[in-house]
Chains A and B, each alone.
Chain A
Amino acid sequence: MRRLLLAVCCVLATVPLVPSPARSQTLRIALREDPDILDPTLARSYVGRIVFAGLCDKLFDIDEKLQIIPQLATGYEWTDSKTLLIHLRSDVSFQDNEKLDATAVKYSLERHLTLQGSFRRSEISTIDHVEVVDPLTVRLVLKTPSAPLVAQLTDRAGMILPPQAAEAEGKDFGLHPVCSGPFKFTERVAQDRIVLDRFAGYWDAGTIHFERVIYQPMPDTSVLLANLQSGSIDLAERILPTDVAAVQRDPKLRIVTSPALGYEGITFNLHNGDRSKAPIDQNALLRQAFEAAIDRQALVQVVFNGMYKPTAQAVSAASPYYIASIRPPPRDLARAKALIQQAGVPTPIAVTMNVPNTPDRTQEAEVIQSMVHEAGFDLKLNLIEFASSLQAATQGGFESYLIGWSGRVDPDGNLYTFLHTGGGQNDGHYSSATVDEMLDQARQATDPDARRGFYTTMWEALRQDLPIIYLQNPVNIVGLSAKLTGFRPVPDGLIRLQGLAAAKP
């Protein structure tokens, strides 16, 4: 037995001597999930977009202030409300050395629009057709005016693929993608790592300071934290607010935050099947009372360590379309009780809420439960696995649903599909003539002031109807090695590799 213990100790003692691979040239990034397919046309996941940030450049990008800036394009102009002219850089090659030109842009946009299973189609469906004006200019002719279109081209819909490679690979393109970004695809081991190597022919090569990037999925947050603390990874996205203090205590690490684009809130089932017959779904006064009973500030403090921002609207305060006059109301129990009395519904009022069974959402729901209880609501929590909760939402199997949205650059992406009559994710089947009209108008108005006006009118109607009680805007929390410099916190939460460098020891 003694010998055995000795042997085990010897094995353990030799292991730390195992040399670790050269690290200075490699950047290791932890992702909270394993991305889905790496094809910009077919991809759906948020983490996939983080990998694309290293792999595929886009026509446009956004900066820290959510301004649209050129990337593969040099600029754009609206020649009329339905014609968008995009000018391209002349010095861009794909990672297989094919030249990026107007033909490739036309090919890629058409692929997004027509490839079977494309998830980009709905994002750019206002495009009627694409014309090549000259090798460095494309013209997008639209079916209807579309204010959100350019913002869509700052994401996967704006990623340009090499026509030859994409055509040859078809739907398997995502198994070995080729793009025009700073790093080229090397290998992927599902659920373990995605390895990208520096692309020497990158048009903006001067901004790239690593030879290799490895993305590693780490779904468990304590494991992710341990990896960050032990230096096995250099950067981790979406650190939990409750883990921030632990990262800050470590002198080798630092935290960078930026307001995120999304929101979290409670969606009510107003007209989707039998479950919408619950009193709270039928009576806006009760929803107003429910909201008045919630203390958003306390909620954020308890569940999200005070890091998320209480809100009453779907766009983040970072957006130019955040309407400053729509503020989250403070908790007012007297008002909540008065509203219930006005509604004439006897208490306790039973309400069921579907809650995806993650720890933070569960805790959030429990805090809400105790807050609204004081106003006279008997809130029952239906904890449910995420995929099942989505199905229940679509099929009307809910009275209320605690759910969030990752957010889009343009406000339209956070509003239209959720609030417009017949919208794809309007799970509660909310329908309001005013809201519909304002959403349609805002979608077509290219003048920012006019759009803000439409959205203000829309919010005034929504504040009365409350089909969704918006609770808070999340914050992107990135934990990174203190040695890393040049990290840019952009509200979309993606990790841009341009400018990122390791300080010399």
Chain B
Amino acid sequence: VNGHLGSRIAQIIPTLLLVSVLVFCLQQLMPGDPAMVMAGEERGDPQVLAQIRNELWLDRPLPVQYVHWMGNLLHGNLGYSWRIREPVTQLIEEKLPVTLQLSFMAFVIAVLIGVPAGIVAAVQRNRFWDYVANAVGLAGLSTPTFWLGIMLILLVSVDLGWLPPSGYVGLFDDWRQSLATTIMPAFVLGNAIAAILMRHTRSAMLTALDQDYVRTARAKGLREWSVVIRHALRNALIPVVTLGALELGTLLSGAVLTEQVFSIPGFGKMIVDAVFNRDYPVVQGVVLVTAFLYVLLNLLADVLYVVINPRLRDG
């Protein structure tokens, strides 16, 4: 295991380096001159454009820009936002907890709905609750986040007046308000993933329930819930955990849309605005941190396998 984890950790640095080079090159392919966007209504003045390009290092060759950026990065400096002049590290410190809170809540909601629904569907195979779970799952998968978000805002906030329609309050500023502002977006975000988790839990559980050890457990006279939860579920969860880790990545990218709909000042909203404003340092910083998180989550999934399935401990 140690060797396995060690090699996974060693892969992190080249992966991140590759991501940073890719991001740097790809944004050069983006149409639209950042200097012109920065210049706004002064874009016709060549002097203004030249001055902006000089200040932002845009008039240097790409490799020089990259080395300059990398050099700063090694000192923990991701540059500053071209649009509002705030340091990118500060923006990330501000936004990351927001998106993490949202993603975590969404994931909890997804697991709370998806896994039990999957178990029920598998145990009740081809019976009423299986059909219900499947129908709900299919609806969850095929409902666009954007539409669901707006509908919920209209119903819960505008008509019923229960929750604020958008915005965000920090968890440590006022946890109740914080929950009030994030529960709806977290549900929207978690909804689609709950459906995926449900489908996978169901099929993994069906496979597990057909295994000999389950039959043995039943033959021993164990109670049904003990058979299902202790024996079948434990084994069925392995593919579900992998999927969960991958879906956490989906959550981060899904947050782009959800944060836009609910005006939540998180990572997703920051990157969308940064791309439209050609605020390259922000785009680079956010993508790099997201890539890092993604790699980290996959590593975490590897560790979790071992925890859940002791057979892997020797491997």
Q: Is the CB of A219 within 8 A of B260?
A: yes
Interface readout for A365-408 with B: 1 if CB under 8 Å, 0 if not? Answer: 00000000000000000000111101100100000000000100
Q: Is the CB of B85 within 8 A of A191?
A: no
- Across the interface, which residues of A come within 8 angstroms of B162, CB to CB? 12, 15-16
Considering only residues 229-271 of chain A, those with a C-beta below 8 Å from chain B are 229-232
- Across the interface, which residues of B come within 8 angstroms of A45, CB to CB? 40
- Across the interface, which residues of A come within 8 angstroms of B94, CB to CB? 189-190
Does residue A119 face the partner (Cβ distance < 8 Å to B)? yes
Q: Is the CB of A226 within 8 A of B166?
A: yes
Known interface pairs A189-B94, A191-B273; A387-B32 also in contact (CB < 8 Å): yes
- Shortest CB–CB separation between residue A106 and chain B, in angstroms? 24
Known interface pairs A117-B55, A230-B165; A122-B83 also in contact (CB < 8 Å): no
Residue of B nearest to A5 (CB): B113
Q: Is the CB of B36 within 8 A of A394?
A: yes
Q: Is the CB of B263 within 8 A of A220?
A: yes
Across chains A and B, the number of contacting residue pairs, with CB separation under 8 Å, is 152
Does residue A465 face the partner (Cβ distance < 8 Å to B)? no
- Across the interface, which residues of B come within 8 angstroms of A229, CB to CB? 158
Interface readout for B78-89 with A: 1 if CB under 8 Å, 0 if not? Answer: 000101111000
Interface readout for A21-42 with B: 1 if CB under 8 Å, 0 if not? Answer: 0000000000000111100000
Return the contact of B83 from the options A36, A117, A424 (Cβ within 8 A): A36
- Shortest CB–CB separation between residue A117 and chain B, in angstroms? 6
- Shortest CB–CB separation between residue A390 and chain B, in angstroms? 5
Main secondary structure of the interface of B (DSSP, over half): helix
- Across the interface, which residues of A come within 8 angstroms of B38, CB to CB? 44
- Across the interface, which residues of A come within 8 angstroms of B265, CB to CB? 189-192
Residue of A nearest to B117 (CB): A1
Return the contact of A190 from the options B37, B51, B84, B262 (Cβ within 8 A): B84
Which one of B149-157, B201-209, B226-234, B302-310 contacts A? B149-157
- Across the interface, which residues of B come within 8 angstroms of A216, CB to CB? 167, 263
Known interface pairs A36-B83, A223-B153; A16-B42 also in contact (CB < 8 Å): no
Interface readout for A210-224 with B: 1 if CB under 8 Å, 0 if not? Answer: 000000111110110
Does residue B261 face the partner (Cβ distance < 8 Å to A)? yes
- Assembly CA distance A390 to B41 (angstroms): 10
Does residue B254 face the partner (Cβ distance < 8 Å to A)? no
Return the contact of A12 from the options B84, B120, B183 (Cβ within 8 A): B183
Q: Is the CB of A217 within 8 A of B263?
A: yes
Q: Is the CB of B276 within 8 A of A386?
A: yes
Interface readout for B258-270 with A: 1 if CB under 8 Å, 0 if not? Answer: 0011110100011
- Shortest CB–CB separation between residue A202 and chain B, in angstroms? 26
Which one of A97-105, A142-150, A170-178, A446-454 contacts B? A170-178
B residues contacting the other copy or chain, number (CB 8 A): 58
- Assembly CA distance A417 to B179 (angstroms): 50
Does residue A6 face the partner (Cβ distance < 8 Å to B)? no
Return the contact of A218 from the options B42, B166, B179, B277 (Cβ within 8 A): B166
Q: Is the CB of A227 within 8 A of B36?
A: no
Q: Is the CB of B154 within 8 A of A226?
A: yes
Return the contact of A222 from the options B43, B120, B150, B269 (Cβ within 8 A): B150
- Across the interface, which residues of A come within 8 angstroms of B91, CB to CB? 190
Known interface pairs A18-B180, A122-B42, A190-B86; A390-B150 also in contact (CB < 8 Å): no
- Assembly CA distance A122 to B55 (angstroms): 19
Considering only residues 239-294 of chain B, those with a C-beta below 8 Å from chain A are 260-263, 265, 269-270, 273, 276-278
- Across the interface, which residues of B come within 8 angstroms of A8, CB to CB? 112
- Assembly CA distance A216 to B165 (angstroms): 13
Residue among B167, B262, B278 with the most chain A CB within 10 A?
Answer: B167
Residue of B nearest to A8 (CB): B112
- Residues of B bordering A, CB below 8 Å: 31-33, 36-45, 48, 51-52, 55, 81, 83-86, 91, 94, 112-113, 116-117, 120, 150, 153-154, 157-158, 161-168, 176-177, 179-180, 183, 260-263, 265, 269-270, 273, 276-278
22 A/B residue pairs, CB under 8 Å, sorted by A: A4-B116, A34-B84, A35-B84, A36-B83, A189-B265, A190-B94, A191-B269, A192-B168, A193-B167, A223-B263, A226-B165, A227-B165, A230-B158, A232-B166, A385-B31, A385-B32, A387-B33, A387-B37, A387-B276, A390-B37, A425-B43, A427-B44
Beyond A44-B38, A175-B86, A216-B263, 7 additional pairs, beta carbon < 8 A: A15-B163, A116-B51, A122-B48, A388-B32, A391-B36, A406-B41, A423-B44
